A and B are shown apart, each in its own frame.
Chain A
């Protein structure tokens, strides 16, 4: 499942989520972000039993982006039980994102 989150609902939808959440920090003007979007959707579909994918626009939601030290996009951060478990900066093929998530979640 892919959802959209903002500074306002980040706590509720990401930090308090029952499932692990992969947050995709992106912006309209970022070319690699457009490239990674379908890849992240594929990962969301493949891991739908264990994972929610949340997209956060860094231009519209600067507080969350700055809180987690996002200085280059796209950046993917995996959250579980309110804590960041790890991050991937820049584009990656689906298989590599998937295996990093599986490793981090022990799937």
Chain B
């Protein structure tokens, strides 16, 4: 079991790792490099490093991370479960355990489909491998935002009678016979007690279940029970969330979306996580 698990490897996450290491805690950090930092041509306001490019800053941060004991795991975290005395972290199909967690995933501006959250768990699912067996012999629709969604559509096709696949990106898809590609844009889900219909721009699909497959999940499904305000996590001055032992830092806590703020918050979160761990003993 790790002392601190950090979700996200941008400036906030790496700052948290460096500081948790300084407090002699064992650290695991999940995720790939921050795309937002990598794509910044220059960062003009990070004190001491004027006009550093995002790519250079990310390199420097990664070099610093390598000086710590942090275990680096380049996998997408599906869920963080608060088990009471510890946390269980599901990264793709593997589970990890940690005594405290720091969320530093950045902020996601991708709009959800209308009523996606209303029907989540009532006909709408974010995880094909989790819920596929509930739709044995039935008709499902998949809205796919990433390349993995192609595999998941094929996986569903093994279990379900028919699969509609609505890709939100371009490509050549190798799909099973009972998968039908629909090139259209989803607008909203409709239904009474559960989602029954997906309204598209030019069409509508009726199905028994709908899978929305994307890289970053809404915060409330990433950490069930987390208190949020729109795309942000609610934290106190110590960067602690409503769940004890679970902290957050960086863009995920709100504006300004700036490197300096992320790094400062990463430090506060790590030091308070260390204090939380020391008090637990």
**Footprint of B on A, CB under 8 Å?**
27, 29-32, 35-36, 38-39, 42, 58-59, 69-73, 75, 89-94, 96
Contact = CB atoms under 8 A, between A and B. Distances in A.
B134 interface: yes
Contacts of A70: 134
B73 interface: no
A93 B125 CA distance: 20
Contacts of B121: 71-72, 75, 89-90
B131 A72 contact: yes
A72 B125 contact: yes
A69 B209 CA distance: 12
Contacts of A69: 122, 193-194
Interface stretch (B78-86, B176-184, B273-281): B78-86
B130 A30 contact: yes
Given A35-B83, A71-B194, A89-B122, A58 B225 contact: no
Contacts of B221: 90
Nearest to B226: A93
Contacts of A89: 120-122
Contacts of B224: 90-93
Given A72-B122, A72-B125, A39 B131 contact: no
Given A69-B122, A71-B123, A72-B125, A94 B81 contact: no
Given A69-B122, A71-B121, A32 B81 contact: yes
B133 A29 contact: yes
Contact of B134 (A72, A91, A94): A72
Contacts of B130: 30-32
A75 B134 CA distance: 13
A30 B129 CA distance: 9
Nearest to B93: A31
Q: How large is the interface on B (under 10, 10 to 19, 20 to 34, 35 or more residues)?
A: 20 to 34
Interface string B77-98: 0010111100010100001000
B243 interface: yes
Interface in B149-163: none
Contact of B84 (A39, A59, A75, A90): A39
A39 B83 contact: yes
Given A72-B120, A92-B224, 14 more contacts: A32-B79, A42-B84, A58-B134, A59-B133, A69-B193, A69-B194, A71-B121, A71-B125, A72-B121, A72-B122, A72-B125, A72-B131, A90-B221, A91-B224
B81 A35 contact: yes
Interface in B82-122: 82-84, 88, 90, 95, 120-122
Q: Which 6 A-B pairs have the closest CB atoms?
A: A89-B121, A93-B82, A72-B121, A91-B224, A35-B81, A92-B225
14 contacts: A32-B130, A69-B122, A71-B122, A71-B123, A71-B131, A71-B194, A72-B120, A72-B122, A89-B121, A90-B224, A93-B82, A93-B224, A93-B225, A96-B225
Contacts of B209: 71
B218 to A, nearest CB: 12
Contacts of B123: 71
Contact of B81 (A30, A72, A91): A91
B31 to A, nearest CB: 20
A84 to B, nearest CB: 12
A96 B139 CA distance: 34
B219 to A, nearest CB: 13
B210 to A, nearest CB: 10
